[in-house]
């Protein structure tokens, strides 16, 4: 899939970070004992972010979204100790823009479709609202922050603290990356046969809604009694109505528990880009109802 303009803009702004935000970080750390450690950690984060921005896969998207807020964090800490000049403020704005773009649905779409197979197109599903304020931020801190700090300590020769934090950071990083990857790999897949729902938070296994069985795909009525597969996501909810029942198994929360197959003719889903999903569905001859 060809990268979107916003994806290219994200890459360009990331490349500019050393020329903009780098000036503020350099001024803030100049003459301090940790200057070299800060510089090495900053360059390591920049290299990881650059690499992940160029590799359009779901795993690279997770890496990019882990790295993207770090320049903002570094910049705020630097601005606290050193009043930014004009270039420093530009660097802070640059870092903030990169973080916002990396989290956007447009950039996310380019990455999740980078590993799509054949004639399929993926539309990601929205993250459940209860996870958006608090849990995800906590996971990000535990996943993204310890390793750069550990690297900085090791470069400064603080071997004990750096090693301990590095080991802890690796464990937390692996766990956090795995958890965030699970959120990133929830999507709707438009294929020649119809629409496949891939979401292990809602379903025990993916299900296919056959194109010939979909009689309407569009905004859900406020009083809909369709089976809810949104797992608490907000925003515009879409409803898929079928002329024949589809069998599915809901995801279970208790380890070792077995789900019971159920049948339904109406489902609620929460794509990140509902308008794009409906447009693609129309192109693929799926019955769409926008009202």
Per-residue pLDDT of the chain (291 residues; tens, 9 = 90+): 567 899 999 999 999 999 999 989 988 887 777 789 989 999 999 999 999 999 999 999 999 999 999 999 999 999 998 888 899 999 999 999 999 999 999 999 999 998 888 889 999 999 999 999 899 999 999 999 999 999 999 999 899 999 999 999 999 999 999 999 999 999 999 999 999 999 999 999 999 999 999 999 999 998 999 999 999 999 999 999 999 999 999 987 665 555 789 999 999 999 999 999 999 999 999 999 877
pLDDT at 70: 97
- 290: nearest Cα among 221, 193, 213, 209: 221
- Do 162 and 271 have their domain in common? no
What pLDDT was estimated at residue 30? 77
* Six-digit token string for 119: 């004639």
Domain count, the chain: 2
- The pLDDT of residue 1: 55
End position of a domain, from candidates 167, 184, 201 = 184
Whether 178 and 198 share a structural domain: no
The model's pTM is 0.92
Residue 119 resides in a domain: yes
| Residue 2 burial (CB count, 10 A) | 8
Q: Say what the pLDDT of residue 273 is.
A: 92
Residue 291 falls within a domain, yes or no?
no
Look at residue 257 in the predicted model and tell me its pLDDT. 55
State which of 184, 210, 225 marks the end of a domain. 184
Looking at the fold, whether 37 and 71 belong to one and the same domain comes out as: yes
Q: Are 240 and 219 in contact (CB under 8 A)?
A: no
Do 96 and 117 share a structural domain? yes
The CA distance from 77 to 105, in Å, is: 28
Residue 144 belongs to a domain? yes
| pLDDT of res. 254 | 61
Residues 173 and 218 both lie in one domain: no
pLDDT of residue 256: 52
Same structural domain, 144 and 275: no
At residue 27, the pLDDT reads: 84
Last residue within a domain, chosen from 154, 184, 214: 184
Q: Which domain range does residue 130 map to?
A: 5-184
Q: What is the pLDDT of residue 19?
A: 94
């Amino acid at each position: 899939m060809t990268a979107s303009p916003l994806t290219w803009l994200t890459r360009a702004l990331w490349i500019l970070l050393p020329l903009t935000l780098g000036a503020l970080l350099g001024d803030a750390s100049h003459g301090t004992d940790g200057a070299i450690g800060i510089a090495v950690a900053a360059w390591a984060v920049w290299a990881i972010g650059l690499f992940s921005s160029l590799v359009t896969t779901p795993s690279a998207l997770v890496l990019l979204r882990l790295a993207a807020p770090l320049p903002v964090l570094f910049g705020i800490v630097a601005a606290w100790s050193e009043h930014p000049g004009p270039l420093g403020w530009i660097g802070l704005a640059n870092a903030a823009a990169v973080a916002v773009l990396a989290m956007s649905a447009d950039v996310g779409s380019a990455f999740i479709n980078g590993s799509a197979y054949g004639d399929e197109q993926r539309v990601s599903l929205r993250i459940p609202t209860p996870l958006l304020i608090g849990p995800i931020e906590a996971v990000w801190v535990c996943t993204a922050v310890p390793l750069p700090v550990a690297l900085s300590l090791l470069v400064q020769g603080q071997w004990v603290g750096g090693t301990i934090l590095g080991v802890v950071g690796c464990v937390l990083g692996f766990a956090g990356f795995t958890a965030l990857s699970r959120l990133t790999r929830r999507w709707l897949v438009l294929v020649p046969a119809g629409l496949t729902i891939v979401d292990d938070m809602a379903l025990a296994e993916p299900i296919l809604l056959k194109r010939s069985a979909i009689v309407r795909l569009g905004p859900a009525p406020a009083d809909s009694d369709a089976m809810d597969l949104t797992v608490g996501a907000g925003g515009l909810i879409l409803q898929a109505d079928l002329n024949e029942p589809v069998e599915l198994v809901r995801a279970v929360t208790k380890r070792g528990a077995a789900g019971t197959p159920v049948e339904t003719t109406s489902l609620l889903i929460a794509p990140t880009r509902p308008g794009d999903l409906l447009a693609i569905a129309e192109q693929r001859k799926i019955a769409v109802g926008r009202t």
